[in-house]
Amino acid sequence: MKPIKYLFFLMFALVTFASCDTYGDYEQEFAPTYPLGGQYYVKVLDENNQEIVMHQMTSDGVTYNVYGTYMYLYNTAENDKDKLWIKLPSDDSFDAGILGKISCDVTARTFSGTAGNMEADGHTVVGEFTVTSGVMTEKSVTTPTNGKADGIEVKYTLNGKTYTVKGFRWTAWDEDETWYSPV
């Protein structure tokens, strides 16, 4: 019986030590446009500094104007470190969306440029747009859930109208997405 116990102990020791293979720490890789890139929850203001209704929703018989939407900044297919894509989708009640490739300065956390609009999400906006100033500031916004998030502000011109986009990096908390009010 003793040889069987030694055999089990030996097998246990071999399995234990064989499974303790250690690996080095993996280095996290980021896109060249990091930390600008990401999804932002934003509201859009018109030339009179009035919030634009992005769309309407109905819940329990009450119709709400929804002011918040998502804006996206992401790297190019070429992984350029001085260019990024900007996307602010249009929908049925908001036709001033933008989608195009513009210049960026990752170190300064800024971006700007002119691009021709492309079709996005089934909506096409005719005309070039110009981002005159775009800036991301790290941990500068206190969200509705009292957290800190990266802030973003973008000014752009499309078809002779100037818009301002303000918001913060998407937090995934539903409570942070509360920019709506009853009609």
72-84 pLDDT, tens digit per residue, is 999 999 999 999 9
List all residues 6 or more positions away from 20 whose beta carbon is below 8 Å from its beta carbon.
none
pLDDT, residue 183, reads 57
Here the tokens at position 108 are: 């300064």
pLDDT recorded at residue 113:
96
Report the C-alpha gap between 43 and 55 in whole angstroms.
12
CB 55 within 8 A of CB 91: yes
Residue 93: what pLDDT? 75
The predicted-structure confidence for 97-114, as pLDDT tens digits, reads as follows 899 999 999 999 999 999
* pLDDT (0 to 100) of residue 177: 85
pLDDT value of residue 25 = 80
Global confidence as pTM = 0.81
Helix (H, G, I), strand (E, B) or coil at 122: coil
pLDDT value for 59: 85
Residues of the chain with pLDDT under 50: none
Residues 6+ apart with CB under 8 A from 40: 70, 71, 72, 73, 152, 167, 168, 169, 170
Q: Which residues contact 68 (CB under 8 A, 6 or more apart)?
A: 41, 42, 43, 54, 167, 177, 178, 179, 180
Give me the numbers of helices (H) and strands (E) for the chain, helices first please. Answer: 1, 11
